[in-house]
Structure 1
């Protein structure tokens, strides 16, 4: 190849994406350039090759090319002098990658660092970047004192043209502090990058990934979630940032988002297999993957396949690989510091049970994984199991049934009374699924208790049977049995055979039947409501007299639910508060969940969102994973609604909505999606557009599920606005156009249609789709005309005029006297405003008239050199 051919081929490589193909092309050109006599050309090719190695994740191949580059720089200073700055800039970065490469001996690294220092000193450059690299090497060697001394000297040294950008320097300083175990110090250095004050080509991409766990460890949970949502989209599929992808996978593994981590891993499955890449990036990526895979295997998901292998097999291979890579670093460094740090990373325990990150991802049920059964044990072990089961039963604990199952599974001989208690627990477990069978089983259990002379348990079981019989439709039989049980309980209590609590338990069937009868009617009669209310008050009076707190709480709870349809909201609130207090005093906080929830709903209905939030939060706490998942999900939605009605609470709303979305997952897809959209909109209002866009992107394909057309259109508009703020104008235009299409035939949504059309026009313009933008502006102007809205209509017409202006001038030969199209359009707008000012003057008209006059003057004198953002 001759010089011209090489230059032409070099220009073509600039359009190639980073990767091995680009590297191979440039290596061929470097060989060809060495054969010609143009050393400037060879230097340019080598510099381009070095950058391709860097961004193609093949940085360990940089030194050979750089050695040749320095040689021709020194031998041919006149020819290569124009590239001197670039060469010494890249020399710094090449030295950085040498430090990270375990294949490079320490002596070689020191030699290159000395070479860098000498060359910088000769040219009068600051030692700042050299000292930074010496600190990095000391960090790798575990010499904290030397690392600190070098870094502090680097920070205090003057900045010059060879210093890294502020963003890169801040990133390195934070990494130094994390390595030293100082999360807070690291975050201090990283704050300008996390907050968006500093940025560059690969920052804050890297910092957002590295800061995930430090943010979580320092209690900044919401900031950690934000960093994930913003950061993952920046590093996704970027081979030169695969270490950062590994940090995101690790974060998922340690925050209860193992399924999301597996999704990310599947997206980058091709990276799992060994490829030619720099080792430090490999360790960073694989380390995060191993943290995830260990977690998944521990949870019983080792059989899931990724590619051709199971997760368990993949984990074994990657653990072996990372062990070998660590051994290479330890051998190079002469210590075990590196492998110890990696081992500590791989052994991390979860930092959060569940930190919702967006649309929940769900893992399949582990194959062959069952609830563990207690091992065979001794009689003392059985005594412990029985004691625990009885304790849970006495407090009506939701886990009582499971406790009796453990007793039954102990495989030890059970005493007769324990057999009867196990039978009773099994009978109760059938009430919801098969009430007929439950009735028979409850009577059988009662008979067993009778034979064992356990009067209290026998009456309790018969009372439960009476209620079950009533629920099956045999109301007469149920009432008769309940009356019989109550009579027997009164006699036994009078004889001292029952405690107060046992007596109240035996007679509860009657009041509960009355409540069941009300629940079976859509609109029960007032007389029946009052009768039930009186019955409950009577039972409450007995419970108060006998000082049985749990029963007092239960009857307050039931009275509240009868008071509401009777129109006594204040009375209902008083009963609900008493119920909450009573359940808590009785040591049954999970039973306080329902009355606290209802108090929250009443507060929200009374336009007191702060009280509603307080009650909903307490109800969730009371439930503490002991109430059904659906109930917790409902409470979470109540909390979201309460927070959403309080201005300025968007940041809190994000967390509440994403938590609600996670709790609805698997129960209700519309609720899952709605709450995720709620979080996205909260981020949008906070102007946290990267986070908003990340959430919108996840759920917008399913937006039709929870919403009707106008709300879908509004949602697409919000997503489009966030995309526009991120500079993703083509995607924004698509969202605005789809939203506008949804409401174009809805007479009630004409204003929204016009707004979306206008937004689409602006996005089309910014994305370079000029012809489409012109049509959209004209369409939006027509819509504003229909709505009688002057200002937005005029602004759309002015924008259209500027587009016409820059789309080209008229043919001066065919139409020498023709006015430019944009000028003619702007003049038409001005004429209309002048007429309005004459016949219907207003502040609005005069303001737009003045602005249009000014823009027309600018357009007439415009030289087409630059497009001004005007409307």
Structure 2
């Protein structure tokens, strides 16, 4: 083998090597050999490959020597290197770009190469557009923002030609410039064609979907930020050169209350924490995003969680030291603190949202050794202040009233007896649901304490609670008797003027609560009990309205609504629910309005009015805010999703509501969590936003069997498969279709679905480049359609199989005259014969169309001039 041939063989071997030092070393040897071989064109090819190897091995400081030698060759031997001129000038641009971001290369060297690049582009008539963009980038790095702006604006205005970056990369750079200048809106305007999918390239929109995450949040485009994360992480996650984008997704999770998801992503890429020979700027971008997460985990008490072979706290220490070293190198080269200040600002970012639901079911464990915390005592608050606040919240029936009394109980000082009795009253009442019998005894005991203190009003309130507890414990008669006694005593005290209206209403509430408690039970209430409860509650409502007890009146309207629902009177129930809403709002108790609003929503949905249901449920969630019990809030969230799902065109709203509902159910009910996540995934699917849909399906599909039956699981996997197919992930799509088909293959009620899934699997296998598996899959689908008597899909599957046979070749067959023909032609003739043999004097319109199409495809196959994209234009089944 000649010297030149050996060098070319070495070049081919190097092309198969992974990027890194080994590849660069091999090319260095080849470059030395080529220099003595006397073949200048070959030497130029080797040097081009060496420059690129240095670029991808993070050895940018070595590139100028190889590039300078390459340029001298071009100058000295223009005829021999002429065919390489375009590649040389293109690589020269990317080499210079690498120098800009490399702290090991002095600024003087970088400026010299920028001048060289500009001079050579000018000599050859290339636009200065990319050179100006690089000058802007260097000015940004050194803190000369006026120069950066002027250079970038000049770059944008300069002519576009063959040396300019692609449109997608240019828009990315323009947006990055504006974002670095603090102009989020300007950045998003430049990035819009990338985010909308109008401009793409090998690494776009992969990169911009990470870069835009925080600007989208900061400008209030929360749904777009979630979408960018779901779609963008899937694009970037498996690509080493996109590590910066992965870091941005990790940071996004840390700043949106999704620390557990961020840790999950980091765990998937934990190997990247060790240097991989990447460019310093790319490494810095990645580990900064990771450090933001690790700082959040530490702040939340999770510094002991494992991150690879270290704890989060240890990894944080190591990365912060490395970041400090890298920033010091940049600052030393640049003569400014721009890079270190920018990084410090990034690392000190606080969360932008408490929680943005992303559809991920992972949660952080409880910090080791954490106990149930006592509600914090407000700073400088005296015991008197704490008691006053607790009384205020109790009067409002505020959900935090119990916490307020616990703060009183934990005040760290001996409580006055009236205050201690009040704390015990609250605690005893809180225990009623768990153990009403014990609560009854405790309430009677605290009532005695109040009596000894001469506090008749609180004693009556405690005994009223004891009556309710007794009824809850199963002693209905005892509860009724005690309630009547307390009510009579309270009425007497009120008549004598020793009890005010508020305390009077509090004491006599027991009668209504005991009456309503009799309606609960596994066998349902007796009608006489329902009517008796109605009469008692109506009487209490009348008294409350008469005495101005607006909040109490709201409660009684709420009770009456439930009673009328038992009686089947929806109109009366709606009237009382609406009244309850109004009374609670008037009383300044909006958190209590959530329940009647939610019930109005359920009634509206049951009666086929999803728009009204949406309004009621949205109001319920707004009224309740963060004060609702977790399960009640979760149920309202699911109800809102159902109301939105029943309204065509509301899919984007369904996404947000469903992911919020899934987050509310997380930790309470896995089936409900999954159900709502799938609702969001399906909504994205319907919107043809398949990147987001596939991301959500992938998160929860491993647990899909939890809430669903076989056919529902199959349809879910089918939707996932279609989204994967739309993304070009045909191999994964085929797997989903195959698994879905297996789920329904033995279900006699799902034969058509089985056939559809088999057909979809065959098409996915075909597009995945697996013809050996696609061919039997098409034949199987054809048999299934034939068993159903459905001619059109059957012949389309058979035609697809014929084309696969034609493309892949195979043994020829003899026709009737003894001539041989390709197997695909034979198969297509068989399809035609089957159609022609169908009974009936005149074929149906559909069969006639398939006959014509089969003849056209047969003729094209025989002519061998058929465009393979034509045959399936009209053959895919409509999506459900």
Question: What band does the TM-score fall into relative to the shorter chain?
Answer: over 0.9
Query: Within 5 Å, which residues of 2 pair with 1:595-610?
Result: 595-610=596-611
Q: Cα offset for 1:130? A: 0.5
Preserved contact between residue 806 and residue 864 of structure 1 (Cα < 8 Å): no
C-alpha contact (below 8 Å) 1:359/1:672 kept by paired residues: no
Deviation at 1:322, TM superposition (A): 1.6
| Shift of residue 198, structure 1, vs aligned partner | 0.7
Q: Deviations over 1:237-271 (max 9, x none)?
A: 42211111111111111111111111111111122
Matched ranges for 1:776-855 at <5 A: 776-808=777-809, 810-811=811-812, 817-836=819-838, 839-855=841-857
Q: Deviations over 1:668-714 (max 9, x none)?
A: 11111111111111111111111111111111111111111101111
Conservation of the 8 A alpha-carbon contact between 2:538 and 2:560: yes
1:427 — aligned with what?
428
Deviations 1:275-305 (A, max 9, x none): 5332211221121112111111111111212
Matched position secondary structure for 1:751: helix
CA distance in 2, matches of 1:149, 1:61: 31
Question: Could you say what the CA RMSD is over the residues aligned between the two structures, in angstroms?
Answer: 2.2
Identify the residue that residue 113 of structure 1 maps to in structure 2. 114
- Name the CA distance, whole Å, in 2 between partners of 1:10 and 1:295: 48
Equivalent in the alignment of 1:168: 169
Indicate how the Cα distance of structure 1 residues 747 and 24 shifts in structure 2: closer, same or farther if over 3 A, else same.
farther
- The 5 Å alignment of 1:269-284 reads 269-284=270-285
Q: Deviations over 1:359-417 (max 9, x none)?
A: 23200111234465588999962111111111111111121111111112121232221
Rounded to whole Å, the distance in 2 between the matches of 1:493 and 1:666 is 48
SS class of match (2:220):
coil
- Aligned-residue offset at 1:825: 2.1
Shift in CA distance, 813/376, structure 1 to aligned 2, threshold 3 Å: closer
Provide the secondary structure at the position in 1 that maps to 2:367: coil
What residue is the counterpart of 1:629 in the other structure?
Answer: 630
Q: Indicate how the Cα distance of structure 1 residues 410 and 823 shifts in structure 2: closer, same or farther if over 3 A, else same.
A: same
Residue of structure 2 equivalent to 1:562: 563
Whole-angstrom distance in 2 between the partners of 1:10 and 1:497: 103
Does 207-216 or 284-293 show the bigger shift?
284-293
Q: Distance in 2 between matches of 1:807 and 1:547?
A: 87
Contact 1:290 1:319 in 2 (8 A): yes
Change (3 A) 1:679 1:169: same
Change over 3 Å in CA distance of 1:455–1:685 after alignment to 2: same
Distance in 1 between residues matched to 2:173 and 2:332, nearest whole Å: 25
Residue 209 (structure 1) aligns with: 210
Aligned residues: 871
Residues 1:666 and 2:703 aligned together: no
For the 8 Å contact 2:476–2:518, the answer to whether it is kept is no
State the distance in 1 between where 2:304 and 2:30 align.
47
| Structure 1 position 171, deviation (Å) | 0.3
In structure 1, C-alpha distance between the alignment counterparts of 2:577 and 2:746, rounded to whole Å = 49
Matches within 5 A, 1:45-194: 45-55=46-56, 57-194=58-195
Q: Unaligned regions of 5+ residues in structure 2, if any?
A: 876-880
Kept in 2, the 8 Å contact 1:34–1:42? The answer is yes
Q: How does 1:325-336 map to 2 (within 5 A)?
A: 325-336=326-337
CA separation of 1:418/1:34 partners in 2, compared to 1, >3 Å: closer, same or farther? farther
Q: CA deviation at 1:809?
A: 5.5
Q: Name the counterpart of 1:552.
A: 553
- Structure 1 partner of 2:580: 579
Q: 1:21 offset after TM fit, Å?
A: 5.4
Matches for 1:393-408 after TM superposition, within 5 Å: 393-408=394-409
Residues 1:415 and 2:400 aligned together: no
Tell me the CA shift for residue 480 of structure 1: 2.0
Determine if contact 1:837/1:845 at 8 Å carries over to the other structure.
Answer: no
Q: Distance in 2 between matches of 1:751 and 1:697?
A: 26
> 1: CA distance between counterparts of 2:60 and 2:456?
82
Work out whether residues 373 and 406 of structure 1, in 8 Å CA contact, stay in contact via their aligned partners in 2: yes
2 CA distance for matches of 1:19 and 1:718? Answer: 41
In the alignment, the residues of structure 2 paired with residue 657 and residue 374 of structure 1 have an alpha-carbon distance, to the nearest angstrom, of 31
Q: Cα offset for 1:157?
A: 0.8
CA contact 1:376–1:412 (8 Å) conserved in 2: no
Cα distance, 1:274–1:854 mapped onto 2, change above 3 Å: closer
Provide the residue aligned with 1:291 in structure 2: 292
Query: Are the aligned partners of 2:633 and 2:664 in contact in 1 as well (CA < 8 Å)?
Result: yes
Kept after mapping to 2: 8 A contact 1:215/1:224: yes
* Whole-angstrom distance in 2 between the partners of 1:336 and 1:223: 34
Q: Deviations over 1:444-483 (max 9, x none)?
A: 2111111222222111111111111221122232222212
Partner Cα distance (1:115, 1:377) in 2: 66
Deviation at 1:636, TM superposition (A): 0.6
8 Å contact from structure 2 (residues 515, 532) kept in 1: no
Structure 2 contact 207–242 (Cα < 8 Å) conserved: yes
Where 2:498 maps in the other structure, the secondary structure is coil
Superposed CA offset, 1:483-522 (max 9, x none): 2111111111111122212111111112111211111243
Shift of 1:220: 1.0
Mapped to 2, the partners of 1:706 and 1:740 lie a distance apart of 19
Point out where structure 1 has 5 or more consecutive residues left out of the alignment: none
Partner of 2:615: 614
Structure 1 residue 20 displacement after superposition: 5.4
Structure-1 separation of matches of 2:560 and 2:476? 22
- Maintained 8 Å contact 1:482/1:509: yes
1:496 corresponds to which residue? 497
Partner of 2:774: 773
**Structure 1 residues 782 and 237, CA gap change in structure 2 (3 angstroms):** closer
Q: 2:58 touches 2:280 (CA, 8 Å); kept in 1?
A: no
SS at match of 1:241: helix
More deviation in 302-311 or 344-353? Answer: 302-311
**d(CA) in 2 for partners of 1:244, 1:321:** 19
C-alpha distance in structure 1 between counterparts of 2:135 and 2:474, whole Å: 83
Contact map agreement 1:359 1:673 (CA 8 A) in 2? no
Farther off after superposition, 523-532 or 482-491:
523-532
1:622-681 CA-to-partner distances (Å, cap 9, x unmatched) read 221212111111111101111000001111111111111111111111111111111111
The range that moved more, 325-334 or 397-406, is 325-334
Partners of 1:308 and 1:821 in 2: CA distance = 58
CA change 1:339–1:33 in 2 (3 A) is: same
Give the CA deviation at 1:811: 4.7
CA distance in 2, matches of 1:89, 1:377: 65
Q: Pick closer, same or farther for the CA change 1:308–1:804 going to 2, 3 Å.
A: closer
Q: Is the partner of 1:124 in helix, strand or coil?
A: coil
* In structure 1, C-alpha distance between the alignment counterparts of 2:316 and 2:168, rounded to whole Å: 35
Aligned equivalents of 1:449, 1:32: Cα separation in 2:
102
Please, which moves more after superposition, 514-523 or 740-749?
514-523
CA distance in 1, matches of 2:34, 2:425: 89
Distance in structure 2 (CA, Å) of the matches to 1:552 and 1:710: 49
The whole-number CA distance in structure 1 between the counterparts of 2:763 and 2:455 is 81
Closer, same or farther: CA 864–11 of 1 in aligned 2, 3 Å: farther
Shift in Å, 1:604: 0.6
- Most deviating of 1-10 and 289-298: 1-10
Contact map agreement 1:798 1:852 (CA 8 A) in 2: yes
In structure 1, the partner of 2:711 is 710
The residue number in structure 1 matching 2:863 is 861
Alignment deviations for residues 419-451 of structure 1 (CA, whole Å, 9 cap, x no partner): 111111221232222323222221121111112
Q: Is 635-644 or 610-619 further displaced after alignment?
A: 610-619
Instruction: Report the Cα distance in structure 1 between the residues aligned to 2:96 and 2:188, rounded to whole angstroms.
Output: 26
Instruction: Give the conservation status (yes or no) of the 8 Å contact 2:376–2:407.
Output: no
Q: Check conservation: 1:696, 1:719, Cα contact below 8 A.
A: yes
Change (3 A) 1:151 1:486: same
Distance 2:253 2:457 in 1: 51
